[in-house]
Amino acid sequence: MSDFTSNFWSVYVAGITIFSIVACAVLLWFTGKAKAMTAADNTTGHVWDDDLREMNNPLPRWWVGLFIITIIFAAFYLYFYPGLGGYAGKAGWTSKGQFEAEVAKGDAEVAPLYAKFTAMSVEDISRDPQAHAIGERLFMNNCSQCHGSDARGGKGFPNLTASYRLHGGRPEDLIETITKGRVGQMPPMAAAVGSADDVKNVANYVLEISGNPHDSVRAELGKAKFVVCAACHGPEGKGNQQIGSANFTANQWLHGFGEAAIINMVNNGKINIMPAQGGKFSEAQIRVLAAYVWGLSNK
């Protein structure tokens, strides 16, 4: 870990930078002072292709001038701006500061527009064409990487067009999810359920209550063992939105469907994380984004 916290590399880069500038200045001075051995006709004696003779003429003044200007510019730049390791520069400029200033400017420009949406309910915002277009852009730029451009998600990523949601589908639930994020945790439960056969029986019982093809004999045997799962998923398997436990009767499978997928979940568990976005968006933006997502399943 010390490789990432040491200031060696900043000192190393600063040293190379200073050395390069000084070396350029020394090279320029040396080329102006050095005298080459020349003949009476100001040639060095080097001849190519029988008649091409190398002359010993001084460097053009414009070239020397540009060289000097470059060195001076580099010195002033490194004085005013960060470029020498941990030295912050006299101008106080930082890329983070510039970014925050540009974001603040953009927020100020759109503030009147978002003010209108802040006074509206999420349901009304979802029906506003302008808000819908803004929400769609926010979603495509920030959410589609996980949930897909059509918001139908994939394995491990919720389908936002579905009516059922683990943590609730009310507008306030969506706002809380976007703002604070979510952490879903299914602990490995094989040891608590019993043998491998017991786990398979429970998997078939889950398939039964979700209305899917199953082994009825195994499902009946697994019903008694399901009491271990009922602590989170409820005695009827309808889940608990307060803790984000799945409702098996909704027949929606976030991490894969079928007996094998359920057995794998019971044996190994799963942790899913929806990162908090409260520090990324303004309150008004979150409201518009939540309205867009709410509208996907509430046409």
What sign does the dihedral 242-246-249-252 (CA atoms) show? positive
Instruction: Report the chain's mean pLDDT, rounded to a whole number.
Output: 90
Whole-angstrom CA distances from 138 to 103, 129, 132, 145, 208 are 15, 14, 10, 12, 40
* Residue ranges of domains in the chain, CATH in brackets: 2-80 (no CATH), 117-181+275-297 (1.10.760.10), 185-274 (1.10.760.10)
This prediction's pTM: 0.69
Select the more confidently predicted residue: 152 or 49: 152
Percent of the chain topping pLDDT 70: 97
The residue-averaged pLDDT of 37-58 equals: 76
Q: How confident is the model at residue 48 (pLDDT cuts 50, 70, 90)?
A: confident
Q: What are 74-118's pLDDT values in tens digits?
A: 999 999 998 887 788 899 899 999 999 998 898 888 888 888 898
| Predicted pLDDT of residue 49 | 79
In this structure, the number of other CB atoms found within 10 A of the CB of residue 288 comes to: 30
Most confident residue range from 7-11, 160-164, 214-218: 214-218
pLDDT in tens, 192-245: 999 999 999 999 999 999 999 999 999 999 999 999 999 999 999 999 998 989
The pLDDT-based confidence of 3 (bands split at 50, 70, 90) is low
Report residue 5's pLDDT band, with 50, 70 and 90 as the boundaries: low
Q: In the chain, pLDDT over 90 holds for what percent of residues?
A: 64
pLDDT tens, position by position, 245-284: 999 999 889 998 999 999 999 999 999 999 999 988 989 9
User: With 50 as the cut, is the pLDDT of residue 1 above it?
Assistant: no
